[in-house]
Structure 1
Amino acid sequence: METPRNLVVLGAGTAGTMVVNSLRRRLPAPWRITVVEQHDTHDYQPGYLFLPFGAIAPEQVRRRTRGLVHDGIDLVRAGVERVDTAEHEVHLADGRVLPYDQLVIATGTTPRPDQTQGTLGPQWHREVGEFYTYEGALALRDRLETFTGGRLVVHITELPIKCPVAPLEFTFLADDWLRRRGLRERTELVFVTPLDGAFTKPVASRALGGLLAEKGITVEADFMVEHIDQERRVLVSYDEREVAYDQLVTVPVNMGADFVAVSGLGDELNYVPVDRHTFLADGLDDVFALGDASNIPTSKAGSVAHFSVEVFTENFLEHIAGRPMTHVFDGHANCFVESGHGKALLLDFNYDTEPLTGTFPFPVVGPLTLLGESRANHLGKLAFRHLYWNALLPGRPLGLRPQMSMAGKHPA
């Protein structure tokens, strides 16, 4: 009888769940799969964006983790204390030790309001809100229900963050929500960012910046926050600029899991440095990092997890067979950007090509419009929740190649 070999996956979020479900059908004997996850619920995190506006019910974004992991996969409910790469072991918070032959770190990224002075004061989840957690999004919903006007400030602390367009989407949806409630004329909307414009990519930044201007939303760019003064209700930057607010919606610093730092596997934000094409951790041949847990230079978004898992799965089967990994991830990301009034934009880009105008996924017929508002894009965003639960997480193919295509795009 062959000696069992162990694939251990840390994290049953988007990337981790897709990996174990995809490999369960394809991993040859004597491999067995263990996934470690401390939470018993799995959230559809793009749904957090809609919770503050009452556009989605809380139960629609949350399911039990066990029901999403296929039979034949061992699910271990525990936190991770550290990884010992010399001994090829994962030490769990409850004292258990899991040996591994191959390890995948897919523990994502987490908002860390404790990293910015003054954030976790008495007004946290009140006058200082956030929508990057389930609890925060629900608390913000309750705050907005009592909002009658004033200065509403949407603020990004630092990049990278999970879903980098989400703060813009929140701002556009807030504009729409305020107009429908008759409060827009009584509200000053301000978008505060450490970037020099609306987004990281120049073409997209111009298009999104134009939308902000059309909607009368003020942009405070190049703002690096030093602290939040809750008593005075102001953001204070390192260059001593101040932005006042009546209601603040902040996006805290995002960081990877603490065990990554404890294990000596991370950068200054606890993301695992990897080869950006294969996800193999630097200096190791038995550790990979996927999804938001890695330091690859593209968006921390569900689409990146999806496309990268497809590439990883093929490479991993080659890797454990002792063959070179021949599949290359090109940084492909696409994301819908809700712009309010039942419309959205779509961005599609990779490491080398920024978002362009055109149609997606097919030339001319689309049906989706790139870098342009459309009802079809909004419906696509809403439909993705169904695809997430019923196709993406189970590991079923969506019919899209992981590599970005130039078909239908108009070069800048």
Structure 2
Amino acid sequence: MMKNLVILGAGTSGTMMANHLVSSLPKKEWKISIVDQYKTHYYQPGFLFLPFDIYTTKQVKKKGSKFLPKGVNYIQEKIDLIEPENNKVLLTDGQELLYDVLIVATGTKTVPEEIEGMKGPKWYKNIFDFYTYEGAKALRDKFRSWEGGKLVVHITEMPIKCPVAPLEFAFLADSYFKNKGMRDKVDITFVTPLDGAFTKPRATKTLHYLLEEKNIKEVTDFNIERVDYENNKIIDYADTEVEYDLLVTVPTNMGDPLLERSGLGDDLNYIPTNKATLQSTDHKNIFAIGDATNLPASKAGSVAHFEAEILTDNILRYINGEELKEDFDGHANCFIETGGGKALLIDFNYTTEPVEGTFPFPGVGPLRLLKESRMNHMGKLAFRWIYWNMLLKGVPIPFVDAQMSEKGKQIEKVN
């Protein structure tokens, strides 16, 4: 009798898992289905570049189905409910999907409604996000004609997708307005609920230095209570006020409401997940990957890529009745745009800080870790091609995958 593996979500993580599993599971024994309500697949790291006219809209979106492998049943429909006690997924069109194994890859979304006054009458007028396609595009249009003033780049609360992106935005804004010959007309302030620029102390030191160097003010420990859109201020619970003419905010990030409806999510609608095996802590035949999990790892594409390899192996082990491997260590690496055609590269995991040194990049040469360079910037831009042509399709990425074990050894030595 045919068994069913169902993947919820055809974003980065879901698409990768479909590509990994279609070649790993016996076709005569397993039917793989993937469910997603949206036709368009967005290259979300590209949203950072859209407001600054570095990328065009066409470069950050493609038809999602073209990245799904043959042999996978693609269902374009909204998901109503997961019934874990019945091993069943209910869709809004009345379809019922039975599963033997379920992979939750429903991602995370911005919820500006969580903060009073944020998504009010000034939303997309002088209050913007850049974590959505619509927000990044609207901000691009605003920047093209903006004459300057107080620009505030703000993080509502953690965790957020790609924790360094708001910093990158501030750095790119500095560069963008310099190039337009109007940096002297723009006052940039970076506002964060953290006690420093980043979640890891060693990287924070480097990033704080860059903020100072670029004359970007920093307001830390700011826990926003509300947006006073009538007087152009954000106000925190300690009554600290930061004035703005243009507010670029990263709203609260939350998992899909589906997980709340199904009783599977935590307070932020993320699915409680074993941080080493990627199995749900509550249901043995449910696994989670990427931004949908509650793991203490960065919500980023590189993390999902490293998770996908391990999750594929663990699903095969689960199916064969074998013990799961506790192999995922929270590994992340990412380029941090610093403006002026330069970028940093950081590499870290659950327990290790970003380290200095070099990272091998075949055909190009070593990339410097925690140091600005033009080569790192080229690496960041090259990642878009890698994303569409390799990462989504589950193709090994030589300069990432081949070096992971070696880099892990180096990190352990340093720490």
Q: Normalised by the shorter chain, which TM-score bucket?
A: over 0.9
Aligned-partner Cα distance in 1 for 2:407–2:300: 19
Cα displacement (A) at 1:139 = 0.1
Are the aligned partners of 2:272 and 2:282 in contact in 1 as well (CA < 8 Å)? no
Cα displacement (A) at 1:188 = 0.8
Matches within 5 A, 1:11-410: 11-28=9-26, 29-326=28-325, 328-361=327-360, 367-399=366-398, 400-401=401-402, 405-406=407-408
CA displacement, residues 292-319 of structure 1 (integer Å, 9 cap, x when unaligned): 0001101000000000001111111111
Cα displacement (A) at 1:40 = 0.2
Q: Which has the higher helix share?
A: 2
Aligned-partner Cα distance in 2 for 1:157–1:323: 42
CA displacement, residues 164-185 of structure 1 (integer Å, 9 cap, x when unaligned): 1000000000000011111111
- Going from structure 1 to structure 2, the CA distance change for 1:276 and 1:220 (only over 3 Å counts) comes to same
Q: AA paired with 2:307? A: S
- Going from structure 1 to structure 2, the CA distance change for 1:112 and 1:353 (only over 3 Å counts) comes to same
Q: AA paired with 1:405? A: K
Aligned-partner Cα distance in 2 for 1:94–1:403: 46
- Going from structure 1 to structure 2, the CA distance change for 1:166 and 1:157 (only over 3 Å counts) comes to same
Cα displacement (A) at 1:81 = 1.2
Aligned-partner Cα distance in 2 for 1:121–1:283: 38
Cα displacement (A) at 1:406 = 4.0
1:231 is paired with a residue whose SS is coil
Please identify, of 310-319 and 298-307, the stretch whose mean Cα deviation from structure 2 is larger: 310-319
Q: Which residue of structure 2 aligns with residue 411 of structure 1?
A: 414
Aligned-partner Cα distance in 1 for 2:199–2:157: 12
Aligned-partner Cα distance in 2 for 1:242–1:85: 46
Aligned-partner Cα distance in 1 for 2:133–2:240: 31
Aligned-partner Cα distance in 2 for 1:38–1:404: 40
Are the aligned partners of 1:33 and 1:73 in contact in 2 as well (CA < 8 Å)? yes
Q: AA paired with 1:411? A: V
Aligned-partner Cα distance in 2 for 1:177–1:75: 41
Aligned-partner Cα distance in 1 for 2:354–2:172: 22
Aligned-partner Cα distance in 2 for 1:366–1:411: 22
Aligned-partner Cα distance in 1 for 2:394–2:174: 37
Instruction: Name the count of aligned residue pairs.
Output: 409
Are the aligned partners of 1:276 and 1:329 in contact in 2 as well (CA < 8 Å)? yes
Cα displacement (A) at 1:157 = 0.2
Aligned-partner Cα distance in 2 for 1:294–1:361: 30
Cα displacement (A) at 1:187 = 1.2
Overall identity of the aligned pairs, in %: 51
1:6 to 4, 10, 13: 4
CA RMSD of aligned residues (A): 1.5
CA displacement, residues 181-230 of structure 1 (integer Å, 9 cap, x when unaligned): 11111111000000001001000001001100111100000000000011
Q: AA paired with 2:70? A: D
Structure 2 unaligned spans of 5+:
none
TM-score calculated relative to the size of structure 2? 0.96
1:283 is paired with a residue whose SS is coil
Cα displacement (A) at 1:407 = 5.6
Please identify, of 161-170 and 143-152, the stretch whose mean Cα deviation from structure 2 is larger: 143-152
CA displacement, residues 248-276 of structure 1 (integer Å, 9 cap, x when unaligned): 00000000000101111111000001100
Cα displacement (A) at 1:13 = 0.4
Are the aligned partners of 1:7 and 1:31 in contact in 2 as well (CA < 8 Å)? yes
Please identify, of 320-329 and 207-216, the stretch whose mean Cα deviation from structure 2 is larger: 320-329
Aligned-partner Cα distance in 2 for 1:292–1:162: 7
Q: AA paired with 1:241? A: T
- Going from structure 1 to structure 2, the CA distance change for 1:287 and 1:407 (only over 3 Å counts) comes to closer
Q: AA paired with 2:203? A: A
Q: AA paired with 1:195? A: L
Aligned-partner Cα distance in 1 for 2:275–2:360: 25
Cα displacement (A) at 1:326 = 2.5
Cα displacement (A) at 1:361 = 3.0
Structure 1 unaligned spans of 5+:
none
Q: AA paired with 1:206? A: K
1:172 is paired with a residue whose SS is helix
- Going from structure 1 to structure 2, the CA distance change for 1:404 and 1:320 (only over 3 Å counts) comes to farther
1:347 is paired with a residue whose SS is strand
1:405 is paired with a residue whose SS is helix
CA displacement, residues 305-361 of structure 1 (integer Å, 9 cap, x when unaligned): 000001111111111011112351011000100000100001100011011111113
Cα displacement (A) at 1:77 = 0.7
Are the aligned partners of 2:161 and 2:300 in contact in 1 as well (CA < 8 Å)? yes
Aligned-partner Cα distance in 1 for 2:395–2:326: 19
Aligned-partner Cα distance in 1 for 2:93–2:302: 33
- Going from structure 1 to structure 2, the CA distance change for 1:76 and 1:315 (only over 3 Å counts) comes to same
Are the aligned partners of 1:272 and 1:294 in contact in 2 as well (CA < 8 Å)? yes
